[in-house]
Structure 1
Amino acid sequence: MKTFAELEINADILKGLDGLGFSFLTPVQEKVIPLILKHRADLVGLAQTGTGKTAAYGIPLIQLTDVQQKQTQALVLCPTRELCVQVAGDLTLMGRYVPGLRIAAVYGGASIVNQIRELQRGVQMIVATPGRLYDLIRRQSVDLSTLRWVVLDEADEMLQMGFQEELNAILAETPDLKNTLLFSATMSGEVAAIAKNYMENPLEITVGHRNSGAENVHHIYYVVSDRDRYQALRRIADINPDIYGIIFCRTRLETQDIVEKLIGDGYNADALHGDLSQSQRDHVMRKFRSRNIQMLVATDVAARGLDVNDLTHVINYNLPDELSGYTHRSGRTGRAGKRGISIALISARERYKIRGIERNLKKNFEEGRIPSGHEICKKRLLNHMEAVKQAEIDPEQIDPFLPVISRTLGTLDREELIKRFVSMEFNRFLASYRNAPDLNVVEKPERKKIREAGKPYSSAHQKFTSFLIHAGKKDGISQKGLMRDLCHAAGLPGLRFDRIEVMNNSSVLAADNRFAGKVMQALQSLTVNGRSVEIEIDRRDKVRRKGDSRRQNQGVTKYRRKDSTRPV
């Protein structure tokens, strides 16, 4: 592994890095720092959050900044207040021994008057959220005309949060002769559009595989019925005594409901959602970072931009609507070379979503088994006994009390003493899991045999075939419109669908097996906004027809027509 000292980095910056305990380069730093230092070029960096991206762009930008000039030379845009504050703090610590370097953090929820005053005194680097910076531009309180670099940190997150308009307005205010550095965990269509519209022949640096998850994350899913979802969560928490993680939910009400249940059951938990004020949010995050909270229950929007070290688990109480959402969630654990676990609680009908995420991440998921009450009690008991064995003893403090302890407990034999000791510690667990039922959803043997053999498989005794369409709400598709156009194109006005689900970037439908061939033909004739649509059928779902020679890729059959003419 290379060290920072091996690169052409100024001594003042190296001194700051030493103070932070930075010695060895991460893969993204090793690739990016020399490029920025030696080449005046636009750059796209694809890497997971927590891989050292801030230092990768921050170190060379600090070194290349002319501290003799008070004009703003570098702008870093971050999706959230938390990430903005953190990045500004990290850059300040890296450059704290560089004389004359001034860095300002500009974000919502703080006094805009104070921020304007700081900008007027002159800063070489601005770290900002898009919303607050756009506000300052409209007030004509910030000058971006002298920028030499613009960094879009977590670009995919900014776009998912709806900052497209603000980004366009901000970038329009920047000079043409600048370099744009874009960093993202995924290369979505929107991120690619920014690279195309605002960057000139950018270099692309990819750490890991494009759109892949963090390398050190182990992915597990548990199949449970909806009514048992919370109890399954409890068992996962109980079987992992040292859990320190985030539980992702879809709605604010769901986060609040789960937190109330967890607290009522004796767990250290709290909620993070959009209805919290900034001061409430900061209070929750302080408790979580100091580990006074073991489990943070959050919505995707509320958790964006959070950067918390050493998370052991990420738990998807519900799967996100978009596949990229899972990438962002799971990427919050398994950072800085440490191992992490990403867990998904799913219903039996959501297996197809797991298969889609596996293809997207290019990773295999383990189907886990929810532990029994006996297994949990045994694990917790052994864990506590090990802690007792490792406990340090201070004879000077404890010896004076031994005579009293011996007189009080002297009538109990060894086995009775152990039983009472264990009962005091574990009565709650033992009572909670007495006669606890099995929460695992048992797949019918014939269905499991068919699925594992790779034969046609469907959700209703092989009566339906599932299709995945790579177009969704963002492309103007609606559930009713898709059903209408498919029935018309297939010439089957009474065509029966088991399921039609339209998400932001994709759609899923399950059609009667008897008409699967005609549905495929209809799908092949459809276009969205003038372009052909890609359709996927999992190998276990595909319609087997004589003479079918369509290509297969990683267990998925894909169909694409270039001459499609019918619009959706």
Structure 2
Amino acid sequence: MGYESPMPVQEEVIPLLLGEDNDVIALAQTGTGKTAAFGLPIIQKIDVTKYQPQALILCPTRELCLQIADDLNEYSKYVENLKVLPVYGGSSIESQIKTLKRGVHIVVATPGRLLDLMNRKTVDLSAVKNVIMDEADEMLNMGFTDSINAILAEVPPSRNMLLFSATMPQGIANITKKYMKKPKEIVIGVKNEGNKNIKHIYYMVHARDKYLALKRIVDYYPNIYGIIFCRTRKETQEIADKLIQDGYNADSLHGELSQAQRDYVMQKFRVKNLQLLVATDVAARGLDVDDLTHVINYGLPDDVESYTHRSGRTGRAGKTGISIAICHVKEKGKIKEIERILNKKFEKGVMPTGKAICEKQLFNLVDQIEKVKVNEEEIGTLMPSIFRKLEWLDKEDIIKRMVSLEFNRLLDYYRDADEIQVVDERSSRQDDYQEKNRSNSKGTGRASQEGYARMFINIGKADGLYPNVLIDLINIHVPGKVQIGKIDLLSNFSFFEVEEGEAKRVIKSLKGVDFDGRRISVEIAQPSEGYGKGKRSGNPSTKSRSNDKEWRKPFAERGAAKRKNRR
């Protein structure tokens, strides 16, 4: 399989798992050789004459479950009769039950489906001697804590337990305290530190320029093979659609796709029929690809752990990789926090110019021409006709035409394209002003400041609205630059301020815009609206859309109507 010497995590873990009564916590990033570290020793310890589960491996997603099972089958190629069963949701539970009844030695499972099988009394964990929790921090993030507790309660206390995690949140500490006996802690690298082979770069741009910046970055790396991470399913699909429309070899991966669609997209990506995969964090779990050149964050995630998992997708198996973040001024604090925890310094990227991109692409084409293998036998009979057809052109003309044929679209695009303004965080008064107002106005309604109009919008925190999302919404849909004042976010609706002269333009531009399936409505707030948290009651998001106007009535008028109804 290409292994020549053990990787650090394998050197540390394998001897411990071959022994008895060795509980281990291994803090290691994705791509450090974890599967072989636990896979090889548990295979060696299996008694193939006993057809009952002797090892249990828990992991967060179907994709990772299948990947681990495939690897274990590869490792056990010469171990006769060893049976590995992947157990996961989205597949026939009856088929999995039948296989369990025939007898298996190793179960690789997602917590939800395994708990379902346990409740049906179709899986017996009484003979399990090794329990592995892979990507434990992600399982906790996905809400599997109760399922994991229920599963571990059914496993014999005499078993070895190995817990793999890229980070060490409090939930992991609780599990180790409850279920592990004096665990040995192995840290590959520095705790919470990212892969040393990864270079971290950030580009700070205005919200309206994020997609244009993404295209430039992708164009600047002609041989890019990477994942673009987005925050939501909707954004993932939108960015993938735009890239495809603009001629890029891309596709999307998110939770709204059927399992067959997800499998098809991932297979295309694994065999490099796709150059760019646009994905959400959860959907990309278990996508085990060693040759990724780049990970691009289309905005930074909310927590450092997610960034660590994202960036760990590149720079694997000893290779180098690049993790890029396209972000706003308001995310500068997130960058500082990630730098502090990972003990890594981000490099501030300089946005490539159109001229630099065209040069990079052209020289890449020249490299490909130099390295291409010529099959003399296949094309030999065609060449005399081709030579006659092109004999009136000299060498320079042929090269110019070949380059133009390949690059006219790119050259035309960048010849007419405006350069993207990279934001100087020290001098961006607009964003600093917005950040200051957000911190001053959390949870409180207040009168508009002089020269500003207070606006009502019919979405709030329950709909996934946050200050950065609202600012993005305005920057994307309202032409020109809009000065934004205070922002007050409530559960089901919100208020924000814009300059009085811009109010009508904002209302018109945002009218009917779709926000995760809900049509946005914006209007100037009534004087009695928004003064103090909680003065609106009920949950408009659970009402029909036709009732939106009712929820925008002034509080006093609504209250009087309610009292009348009670009488």
Residue in structure 2 matched with residue 310 of structure 1 by the alignment: 291
Write out per-residue CA displacement over residues 121-172 of structure 1, whole angstroms, 9 at most, x where no aligned residue: 2222111110110100111111112221111111011111111111111111
Write out per-residue CA displacement over residues 302-326 of structure 1, whole angstroms, 9 at most, x where no aligned residue: 1123222211111001111111110
User: Could you say if the C-alpha distance between residues 458 and 179 of structure 1 is closer, same or farther in structure 2, counting changes exceeding 3 Å?
Assistant: farther
State the distance in 1 between where 2:436 and 2:399 align: 58
Residue in structure 2 matched with residue 199 of structure 1 by the alignment: 180
Residue in structure 2 matched with residue 441 of structure 1 by the alignment: 422
Q: Does 1:187 align with 2:168?
A: yes
Residue in structure 2 matched with residue 425 of structure 1 by the alignment: 406
**8 Å CA contact retained: 2:111, 2:144:** yes
Q: Which among 335, 338, 354 is matched to residue 319 of structure 2? A: 338
Q: Does 1:156 align with 2:142?
A: no
User: Could you say if the C-alpha distance between residues 38 and 416 of structure 1 is closer, same or farther in structure 2, counting changes exceeding 3 Å?
Assistant: same
Residue in structure 1 matched with residue 507 of structure 2 by the alignment: none
Q: Which among 36, 46, 57 is matched to residue 76 of structure 1? A: 57
Residue 27 of structure 1, CA deviation: 0.4
Residue in structure 2 matched with residue 103 of structure 1 by the alignment: 84
User: Could you say if the C-alpha distance between residues 150 and 394 of structure 1 is closer, same or farther in structure 2, counting changes exceeding 3 Å?
Assistant: closer
Q: Does 1:351 align with 2:296?
A: no
State the distance in 2 between where 1:137 and 1:396 align: 62
The share of aligned pairs that are identical, in percent, is 56
Residue in structure 2 matched with residue 141 of structure 1 by the alignment: 122
State the distance in 2 between where 1:508 and 1:403 align: 66
Residue 419 of structure 1, CA deviation: 2.4
**8 Å CA contact retained: 2:66, 2:86:** yes
What amino acid does structure 2 have at the position aligned with 1:271?
S
Residue in structure 2 matched with residue 361 of structure 1 by the alignment: 342
Residue in structure 1 matched with residue 307 of structure 2 by the alignment: 326
**8 Å CA contact retained: 1:372, 1:436:** no
Q: Which among 12, 25, 40 is matched to residue 6 of structure 2? A: 25
Residue in structure 1 matched with residue 204 of structure 2 by the alignment: 223
Residue 401 of structure 1, CA deviation: 3.9
**8 Å CA contact retained: 1:214, 1:331:** yes
SS in 2 for 1:195: helix
SS in 1 for 2:415: coil
What amino acid does structure 1 have at the position aligned with 2:92?
S
SS in 1 for 2:409: helix
User: Could you say if the C-alpha distance between residues 383 and 126 of structure 1 is closer, same or farther in structure 2, counting changes exceeding 3 Å?
Assistant: same
Write out per-residue CA displacement over residues 226-280 of structure 1, whole angstroms, 9 at most, x where no aligned residue: 1111111111111111111110001111111111111111111111111111111
Q: Which among 166, 174, 195 is matched to residue 155 of structure 2? A: 174
Q: Does 1:390 align with 2:380?
A: no
Residue 44 of structure 1, CA deviation: 0.3
State the distance in 2 between where 1:201 and 1:382 align: 58
**8 Å CA contact retained: 2:20, 2:160:** no
State the distance in 2 between where 1:463 and 1:140 align: 55
Q: Select between 175-184 and 374-383 the one with higher mean Cα deviation.
A: 175-184
What amino acid does structure 1 have at the position aligned with 2:341?
N
**8 Å CA contact retained: 1:106, 1:128:** yes
Q: Select between 289-298 and 390-399 the one with higher mean Cα deviation.
A: 390-399
Residue in structure 2 matched with residue 521 of structure 1 by the alignment: none
State the distance in 1 between where 2:432 and 2:372 align: 55
User: Could you say if the C-alpha distance between residues 426 and 135 of structure 1 is closer, same or farther in structure 2, counting changes exceeding 3 Å?
Assistant: same
Specify every segment of 5 or more residues in structure 1 that has no aligned partner in the other structure, as ranges.
1-19, 449-456, 468-477, 485-501, 510-568
**8 Å CA contact retained: 2:231, 2:280:** yes
The count of aligned residue pairs is 451
Residue in structure 2 matched with residue 560 of structure 1 by the alignment: none
What amino acid does structure 1 have at the position aligned with 2:238?
D
- TM-score under structure 1 normalisation? 0.75
State the distance in 2 between where 1:405 and 1:200 align: 75
State the distance in 2 between where 1:409 and 1:324 align: 58
Q: Which among 102, 107, 115 is matched to residue 126 of structure 1? A: 107
